[in-house]
Amino acid sequence: MQSVARFWLLVGVWVMVPAIAVANMPLGPFFGAVRLAYWPVAPVAVLIEVVALKLFFDLSWKQAATVGVLVNVITAVVGVPLYPVISLALYPVLTPFVTGVFGYGAMVEVGALSFGFGVLDAGLELLLLRHLFKVSITLGRGLAFLIANLLSAAVLFGAIYWSEISSRLSEEEFQSVMQAHDAEIAVLAELLAELPGHFVYNSEARLDPLFHEAWTETWGNRLDSMTVREVQVVVGPDLEVLKSDRLPGERRLAAIRSEGDTRMQRVLIGEGRTFYTVTLVYDGITRFYSVSGLFPASDPPD
C-alpha cells in the first residue's frame, strides 16, 4: 500500500512540474508540431529510454526495445490531443512564473516546453509501464526514467537551439530592417501599449470579440494606410488579425533573431519573395501580449 501511495504521489508531482514550465508559453499548444518537425531526434530519444529500461528495470534488450518503442508511440498519439489542452488550461493560471524567473525569449520558450513535455512524457510512460506492460515501478526506477526522458528532452532542445543559431539573422540585417521601417514599427509599439486597455475578457466563454469593436475599426483603418502587409495581435492564447493582404504562396522561415522584447523573422513567401515579420512583446502581470507586422524587404539579402 505504501509503495502504491508513493507511486501516485510521484505521478502528481510529474503533472504539476511541467504545468509550471508550459504555463507561460504561447508556443505550448503547437509544440507537438515542433517535435514532429524534428522527428530525426526521436530515435535518439527512444534509444536513451531503452537503455534506461535495460539498466534499471531488469528487462532484456529485446524487452526494453519493444516496450520502449511502444510506450513512445502510445505517448505520441495520446499527447496530440492531451498536451495542447493542458497548455491552454494552465496558461492563464501560471503565466508570470517562467518569464518572471528566466525572462522572455524564443529559446526560453523552447527550453521550458522541452522540459515540461519531457516530464509529462515520463509520467504518462510510467503509467503505461505499470498498468499496460505490468512492469514494477519503484521510486528509484521512476527517477531514473524521469532523468532519461529529460536527457531526451535535452537532445531535442539542442537540435532546436542549433537550428536557431545556424539560421540567426545578423545584427546588421536586423538593424537595417528596424531602421527601414522605424516609423511603422513605432506605430506597432503604440498599438501594443493600447492592448491591455482594450482587451475584452469574458470569463464564461471566449465568444465575444477580443477587443472593443470601435477601437478595432479605428486601428484597422489606420493600418490600411501603412505599407505593413499583415498585422496580428496576441493576448494570452488568443489571436486576432487586424490587417491582412492575403499574400499567396507557401511561407518558409529563413532566419530569426531576438533582441530584448523584439523578435524578427525573415520569411520567404511564394517564389522566394522576402518579407520580415517584426514581433513586439509585452509580458503583463496576468497575461502575455504581442503585436506582429509583416513588412516587405526593401533590399533583400544576397
pLDDT in tens, 222-245: 999 999 999 999 887 778 889 998
Residue 79, number of CB atoms within 10 A of its CB: 18
Residue 262 above 80 pLDDT?
Answer: yes
What are the boundaries of each domain within the chain? 2-166, 171-296
pLDDT at position 236 is 73
Give the separation between CA 50 and CA 109, rounded to whole angstroms: 28
CB 210 within 8 A of CB 238: yes
CB 188 within 8 A of CB 211: no
Q: Phi, psi at residue 139, to the nearest 5°?
A: -60, -45
pLDDT at position 16 is 43
Percentage of residues in the chain with pLDDT exceeding 90? 43
DSSP 155-167: HHHHHHHHHHHHT
Give the separation between CA 124 and CA 127, rounded to whole angstroms: 5
Per residue in 100-121, pLDDT (tens digit) is 766 666 677 778 888 888 998 9
Lowest mean pLDDT among 28-42, 122-136, 173-187: 28-42
Angle ∠(178,253,289) on CA atoms, nearest 5: 60
β-pairing, 262-269 with 230-235? unpaired
User: Nine-digit cell at 203?
Assistant: 470569463
| Contacting residues for 104 by C-beta, under 8 A, at least 6 apart | 261, 281, 283
Rg (CA), the chain: 22
pLDDT at position 25 is 44
